[in-house]
Amino acid sequence: MNVAPPEAMPITVMVPGDSGAVSVGADEVARKLAEEGRRRGIDLRIVRTGSRGMYWLEPLVEVQTAAGRVGYGPVSAADVPRLLDARMLEGAVDDLRLGDPDKHPWMRSQQRLTGARLGIVDPASLDDYLAQGGYAGLETALTLRPREIVQRVTDSGLRGRGGAAFPTGIKWQTVLDQSATRKYIACNADEGDSGTFADRMLMEGDPFALIEGMTIAGIAVGATQGYIYLRIEYPHAARVLEAALDRARAHGYLGDDVLGSGNRFDIALRRGAGAYICGEETSMLESLQGRRGEVRVRPPLPAIKGLFDQPTVVNNVVTLATVPVILARGAEFYRDFGMGKSRGTVMLQLAGNVRHGGLVECAFGLTVRELVHRYGGGTATGRPVRAVQIGGPLGAYLPASQFDTPLDYEALAARDALLGHGGVVVFDDSVDMARMARHAFAFCALESCGKCTPCRIGSTRGVELLDRLTTREKGDRGAEVSLLQELCETMAEGSLCGLGGMTPFPVRSALRHFREDF
């Protein structure tokens, strides 16, 4: 009897499809692979994953071999024929071969909890998500009472990753304690800080983690509707999220009866119109309600009177996407990472003038030096690192003499700095710090919502002051520096929200550590 030979299995090749990888040619690489595969009669299965966060190696193509995944990068479309000739599909040696990406020094020393599936799963595949431990957190949550879910989040020590670092469990408890007919979960996906991209990577690379986290939040506090407020500049994230939301709904993970538990929860996507201030939570709520993004006076807190005047949990993407792992693996597991009051892991985004930019997820406590030099490899220009700005456009500049500072909330606060959303932007010794201070005021003037005077007027006066200070040949610079200090104090003390209130951070730190530039 003739037995038909077993059908050959397709060879799986992973090509990241997130915005970062696409911006350096990942789509062209995927197309070329498909074309060459067809031409050579090779049965290729090309999967578009998210990115692992080693952006200097993108497009980073991974081949599923019998011995595991083998990475190659950075691969251009022009490299594809040569790599196929060199037996890339068998994991053969080549100049671009990186080996198992998990064992790459950049990845090996990280602790990936929130971003564990980045670059591993196909963001469009619910099956992939489930196969990688997805929805285990929701399954656990459904066995608990709401206050027990909140207690676990409190016990984990999780603090908001959007910037203010407020304890997430306390916020949830406040919403749970309110009696209201409607409550909401509002996910802040405005990600306006310069040099930050963790929210985008998560939404584009592992969207179900955010959806699961929001669903757990809804069930914990008694909210039935969630909104993701996504910045307009993220069209790819919008497409990935819409597809994942449809899939979650179709499989009963969202809707009138979440997994047959009797809980109702659904999520809608809303797009912002591109204003930095709409990332501030009360402006975001205004914008979500279809109004101009202007800051609301607090109190009342959004947890008490938020979206449509109802109790609302406002959390950042990273915060919410971290909740599933806490529920799945336990509060103690999560809080075992970190130091002091900064528990768990932090997603640090390394950008600016740096050789190896990308995402580093580590337990809190890594120093600035380790991040910039060990992970970042120093500056891209090869010149000495002079300063780093941590926490977005309103974050302080740290000089090289403070690079032993651990990246945790309290250690940075002790340096008059802040961690914010975890963006770290590197500058070499050609940076003009007086210009950077001017930029902080100019940014504030451009983005101010205009509601309060210290920010609306003060930011413009700050630009004028710095122009006088840096361009004038003669004059009483001492008096101008004191005026600058006074202006910073007025803005810090008198502004209604963090935009005006935190603009003094970059200005004061530049003045304190780099006085020679003024």
- Contact residues for ligand FMN, defined by CB under 6 A: 160-164, 166, 188, 190-192, 277, 279-281, 314-316, 319, 497-499
Distances (CA, A) of 289 to 294, 298, 309, 485: 12, 17, 10, 38
Nearer to ligand SF4, 29 or 440 (CB): 440
Q: What minimum distance in Å lies between the beta carbon of 129 and ligand FMN?
A: 22
Nearer to ligand FMN, 37 or 420 (CB): 420
Nearer to ligand FMN, 93 or 164 (CB): 164
Nearer to ligand SF4, 19 or 490 (CB): 490
Interacting residue ranges for ligand SF4, rule: CB under 6 A: 277, 295, 448-452, 455-456, 495-497, 499-500
The upper half-sphere exposure of residue 308, i.e. CA atoms within 13 Å in the direction of its Cβ, equals: 10
Report whether the peptide linkage leading into residue 300 is cis, meaning its omega lies within 30 degrees of zero.
yes
Q: What is the CA radius of gyration of the chain?
A: 24
Q: What minimum distance in Å lies between the beta carbon of 184 and ligand FMN?
A: 14
Nearer to ligand FMN, 96 or 351 (CB): 351
Among ligand SF4, ligand FMN, none, the one that 218 touches (CB under a kind-dependent 5 to 8 A) is none
Among ligand SF4, ligand FMN, none, the one that 281 touches (CB under a kind-dependent 5 to 8 A) is ligand FMN
Nearer to ligand SF4, 89 or 499 (CB): 499
Among ligand SF4, ligand FMN, none, the one that 450 touches (CB under a kind-dependent 5 to 8 A) is ligand SF4
Asked if 397 contacts 513 with a C-beta cutoff of 8 angstroms, the reply is yes
Nearer to ligand FMN, 61 or 496 (CB): 496
Distances (CA, A) of 329 to 137, 141, 339, 425: 8, 12, 19, 33
CA 292/CA 290 separation, integer angstroms: 7
Which residue type sits at 458?
G
Among ligand FMN, ligand SF4, none, the one that 396 touches (CB under a kind-dependent 5 to 8 A) is none
Which residue type sits at 136?
A
Among ligand FMN, ligand SF4, none, the one that 166 touches (CB under a kind-dependent 5 to 8 A) is ligand FMN
CA 152/CA 119 separation, integer angstroms: 28
CA 390/CA 204 separation, integer angstroms: 24
**Sheet with 312-316: strands ordered across:** 266-271, 225-230, 184-189, 312-316
Among ligand FMN, ligand SF4, none, the one that 160 touches (CB under a kind-dependent 5 to 8 A) is ligand FMN
Give the CB-nearest residue to ligand FMN: 160
Q: What minimum distance in Å lies between the beta carbon of 155 and ligand FMN?
A: 17
Within 8 A by CB and 6+ apart from 114, the residues are 202, 209, 318, 321, 322, 325, 345, 347, 361
Nearer to ligand SF4, 330 or 494 (CB): 494
Q: What minimum distance in Å lies between the beta carbon of 314 and ligand FMN?
A: 5
Q: What minimum distance in Å lies between the beta carbon of 192 and ligand FMN?
A: 4
Mind giving me the DSSP string for 330-390? Answer: -HHHHHTSEETTEESEEEEEEEES-SS-EEEEEETT-BHHIIIIIIT-S-SSSSPEEEEEE
CB atoms within 10 A of CB 76: 15
Among ligand SF4, ligand FMN, none, the one that 503 touches (CB under a kind-dependent 5 to 8 A) is none
Q: What minimum distance in Å lies between the beta carbon of 135 and ligand FMN?
A: 21
CA 4/CA 26 separation, integer angstroms: 38
Q: What minimum distance in Å lies between the beta carbon of 481 and ligand SF4?
A: 23
Q: What minimum distance in Å lies between the beta carbon of 418 and ligand FMN?
A: 11
CA 445/CA 491 separation, integer angstroms: 12
